[in-house]
Structure 1
């Protein structure tokens, strides 16, 4: 099947509105056929920082998210494809800076014989032909291929849909990969503890890794001065920002983390957070304007992440999309995705009631 690019549509828009048009994007979906795509952006703290079991405390939140009935779930992880790109260009993307964001695919390569590009090719073909009632062997194989492709949360989605007596080695999974799946199944990281578990519960085949670190790869000559400038800006955080941080820490220790998610997704809390991060950075008085480097990298990252999310449901008009992302991203995600044609942003506060 040939890929179809939207070049003609772009040319038509430019000719109709002018390449130098100012102001908000024009509304083109007034006479759109079919329902809008609904996108719920769930701002999240990074749960891996919490060192206690969270299965119980997360259950009320997962119930609310299940009620939204997402068709597609996106997560703040680098895809195996981008990690493969990064590894091929060490002069552009220093390994010591980005390696922590990428998983080790060598054990899965040893078990399956697949490097990352070969694994991507196999799981792409497999998903196009995925049966309504896959066998346990098919799920084990797809889990193994996802691991080889650097898509560990999606591997867990398949693993969790296996009956307990089918969660064993075979079909590309060796004992080392089974141990890996068991380990990530116990992880507090929200990509596993929320996204993968919810996807498995809903019978989805995968989650979509949409993070991107190609846009915030800021080139800094004096890293010490840069760090000092950004931290000096953050040191000016308001009393309200500090109080919000304290409250978030308190809620993270509770037995019901739904309260935590309601708090971090409140519009006033989100606004205070970004004002005491990015607005302070923009006011950085250093001669190099380092704060603006920081914000530019942040915005480039968000633009590319949002593009990845949009691509995840481009062939699914009317899809219901849940995007789970660090809460500082949420204002950008809501604003950018809200400009997309045929897309509506779901109120997180209403969804979490």
Structure 2
């Protein structure tokens, strides 16, 4: 009898503990929801909101056919109607390049792939010629960017300072602006050749970012990419790669419509000149849901080595959280403005999840501008990116 009583008391105690734990968990969840709701309410009260549009893109640098503002007008024109006051692209910040140069050896692969040894060598030459460190060059760059207008010689100096500061995106934008006949003698032949090659690149940073910035007469493009997680990457990849290569789920993903449909739409865009179907798909809720349900679910609940897979997810979130932080720096520099962020399409759903929680930020979807605008006379608006024959 005593034993039964003890067992009953033990069961009651366990039940009470479980109930207390459940109650505490529910209370914590309610507290979190309450805090989130309070943040949303506070954000809604903001007298000045900064709009942020995250445009998911394929990486266009893989396309061999030459792209330009005319061939991409079907996507550039709707984006121009958004009238962004700041454009951010998936490129490394000068400060992070300097950190990587002086940091872990693991970063050297990142620098080789995402910055390029040729650009780094040109940056060192400009630092030596200008007798400035990368940091001093970056500080000297800002006053020139604040100028209302620049003489060709001033713009040439701005370009040299941008290269010395590891700011490739600003150097390229102002190379597009530069009156080459008046100022190019002050820029080395080697640097001129490099910038000409960049200016002819199909990379969306150039074909979308620079063409749009020039049409809107913007002075800068903001780099917001991040790879500071890569000092942790190699050992995690080594633990993950075997199960990934043997995974039926990974093999199925590689053959799925999630992977293949964007490629089909890209081929159609190259044939027709209409890029809207591709970009509409990449920025649709359906595609963004597939990023989670098909790509990243592979690392959560499928057949990969679990600890390594979760570590890989953590690194991906580190990268996107850091990118969100860099985007908020752009927001801080452009309060009340309209920010356009051009990134690989799989980043979009993560960035928007984080940015949705930021005070004073209003997310804008590209689809709002992809529909053809109506004018009072039923005519198409003026095209910024088409020549006269195409109008």
**Superposition TM-score, scaled by structure 1 size:** 0.85
Residue 195 of structure 1, CA deviation: 0.6
1:160–1:242 CA distance, 2 compared to 1 (3 A) = closer
Structure 2 equivalent of residue 8 of structure 1: none
Structure 1 equivalent of residue 32 of structure 2: 22
Q: Distance in 2 between matches of 1:268 and 1:209?
A: 28
Q: Distance in 2 between matches of 1:217 and 1:229?
A: 22
Q: 2:268 aligns with which of 225, 237, 251?
A: 251
What SS class does the counterpart of residue 90 from structure 1 fall into?
coil
Q: Distance in 1 between matches of 2:236 and 2:212?
A: 44
Q: Distance in 1 between matches of 2:256 and 2:95?
A: 42
Q: For structure 1, which segment, 68-77 or 311-320, has the greater mean C-alpha deviation from structure 2 after superposition?
A: 311-320
Residue 80 of structure 1, CA deviation: 1.9
Structure 2 equivalent of residue 51 of structure 1: 64
Larger fraction in helix: 2
Q: Distance in 2 between matches of 1:95 and 1:319?
A: 36
Q: Deviations 1:158-213 (Å, cap 9, x if unpaired)?
A: 1212245346231xx21111111111110001111111221122111111111111
Residue 338 of structure 1, CA deviation: 1.6
**Superposition TM-score, scaled by structure 2 size:** 0.77
Q: Distance in 1 between matches of 2:122 and 2:180?
A: 23
1:276 equivalent in alignment to 2:286:
no
- In the alignment, is the contact (CA less than 8 A) between 2:54 and 2:343 conserved in 1? yes
1:346 equivalent in alignment to 2:364:
yes
What SS class does the counterpart of residue 160 from structure 1 fall into?
helix
- In the alignment, is the contact (CA less than 8 A) between 2:213 and 2:219 conserved in 1? yes
1:205 equivalent in alignment to 2:214:
no
Structure 2 equivalent of residue 120 of structure 1: 138
Q: Distance in 2 between matches of 1:260 and 1:344?
A: 25
- In the alignment, is the contact (CA less than 8 A) between 2:56 and 2:344 conserved in 1? yes
- In the alignment, is the contact (CA less than 8 A) between 1:109 and 1:148 conserved in 2? yes
Structure 1 equivalent of residue 152 of structure 2: 136
Which structure 2 residues correspond to residues 1-353 of structure 1 after superposition, within 5 A? 21-23=31-33, 24=36, 26-27=39-40, 28-34=42-48, 36-55=49-68, 56-91=70-105, 93-103=106-116, 104-111=119-126, 112-113=129-130, 114-127=132-145, 130-163=146-179, 165-166=181-182, 168-170=184-186, 173-221=187-235, 223-231=237-245, 232=247, 233-237=249-253, 239-254=256-271, 255-353=273-371
- In the alignment, is the contact (CA less than 8 A) between 1:155 and 1:206 conserved in 2? no
When Rg is computed on C-alpha atoms for both structures, the one with the higher figure is 2
Task: Quote the RMSD (CA, aligned, Å).
Answer: 2.4
Q: Distance in 2 between matches of 1:339 and 1:38?
A: 13
- In the alignment, is the contact (CA less than 8 A) between 1:75 and 1:195 conserved in 2? yes
Q: For structure 1, which segment, 272-281 or 303-312, has the greater mean C-alpha deviation from structure 2 after superposition?
A: 272-281
Q: Distance in 2 between matches of 1:133 and 1:222?
A: 49
Residue 315 of structure 1, CA deviation: 3.4
Gaps of 5+ in 1: 1-17
- In the alignment, is the contact (CA less than 8 A) between 2:43 and 2:361 conserved in 1? no
1:65–1:249 CA distance, 2 compared to 1 (3 A) = closer
What SS class does the counterpart of residue 145 from structure 1 fall into?
helix
Q: For structure 1, which segment, 225-234 or 178-187, has the greater mean C-alpha deviation from structure 2 after superposition?
A: 225-234
What SS class does the counterpart of residue 345 from structure 1 fall into?
strand
Gaps of 5+ in 2: 1-27, 372-391
Residue 40 of structure 1, CA deviation: 0.8
1:236–1:281 CA distance, 2 compared to 1 (3 A) = farther
Q: Distance in 1 between matches of 2:72 and 2:262?
A: 20
